[in-house]
Amino acid sequence: MQIALLLFDRFTALDAVGPYEMLSRAPGAETVFVAERTGAVRNDSGSLCLVAERTLADVPAPDVVIVPGGPGQSAQMENESLLGWLRAADATSTWTTSVCTGSLLLAAAGLLTGRRATTHWLAHDVLRTYGAEPTEERVVLDGKYVTAAGVSAGIDMGLTLLGEIAGDEHARSVQLLTEYDPQPPYDCGSPAKAPAAMVEEWRSRSRFILS
């Protein structure tokens, strides 16, 4: 089973590494980081580089496609090289997935039209403009399309999908081995739980950073 993680300039690292850490532990997984060009791809904050070891052309038909998000997503929304690869890979994939604003790229490629999906909480309206139906769930399955909410939700997406692919017992075993028993020190991880003023502040700021 080939799992392709798409990288692009200014992606968010945890969006990619969260599901990677879960799904790369599927039996028989061959996990590959792909980008338009091979080499180091720099993240949103500029201080982390993951290496794309294969080009898009090298990996035309992965079984699982994982698209992270990040502020760099907006610069890719009309990149036909990348969107064309997504469409072609999706034509034969078993699962097409995203984390955070990665779903906007799937939607821009036309893959989420009329489908239930999610994205970063700040980007629900944008997702709707591309024809998807945003929901409030953290991980959304609609057929073979699995989308996760913002950044850290990719871990829950990865573990959920690992259960679908490898069975509940294997997924539970990976949960134990990665000691995924989260205990956040605060309870402020969604707009429903955060103070209204904090939510509003991020909504104001996001008008400048989300396309």
Classify residue 128 by burial, with Cβ atoms within 10 Å: 0-12, 13-18, 19+: middle
Query: Residues 146, 99: contact at Cβ < 8 Å?
Result: no
Interface residue with a second copy among 6, 8, 11, 17 (CB under 8 A) is 17
Counting contacts by CB under 8 A, is residue 91 touching a second copy?
Answer: no
Interface residue with a second copy among 159, 165, 166, 210 (CB under 8 A) is 159
Counting contacts by CB under 8 A, is residue 40 touching a second copy?
Answer: yes
Counting contacts by CB under 8 A, is residue 153 touching a second copy?
Answer: yes
Minimal distance, residue 66 CB to a second copy, in Å:
12
Counting contacts by CB under 8 A, is residue 80 touching a second copy?
Answer: no
CB of 29 or CB of 79, closer to a second copy: 29
Interface residue with a second copy among 114, 181, 196, 207 (CB under 8 A) is 181
Interface residue with a second copy among 9, 21, 63, 133 (CB under 8 A) is 21
Core vs surface per residue 172-211: b (16+ CB within 10 A) or e: eebbeeeeeeeeeeeeebebeebeeeebeeeeeeeeeebe
CA pseudo-torsion sign 137, 24, 10, 197: positive
Residue-wise DSSP of 111-168:
SSTT-EE---GGGHHHHHHTT-EE-S-SEEEETTEEEE-STTHHHHHHHHHHHHHH-H
Interface residue with a second copy among 125, 176, 200, 203 (CB under 8 A) is 176
Rounded CA-CA distance 11/44 in Å is 5
Told to judge if 188 belongs to the known catalytic residues of this protein, a careful annotator would answer no
The residue from 67, 100, 117, 155 that is catalytic is 100
Question: Which positions touch a second copy (CB under 8 A)?
Answer: 12-14, 17-18, 20-21, 24-25, 30-33, 40, 45, 47-51, 53, 100, 120-121, 138-139, 149-153, 155-156, 159-160, 163, 168, 171-173, 175-186, 188-191, 193-194, 198-199, 202
Q: Any idea which residues carry the catalytic annotation? A: 100
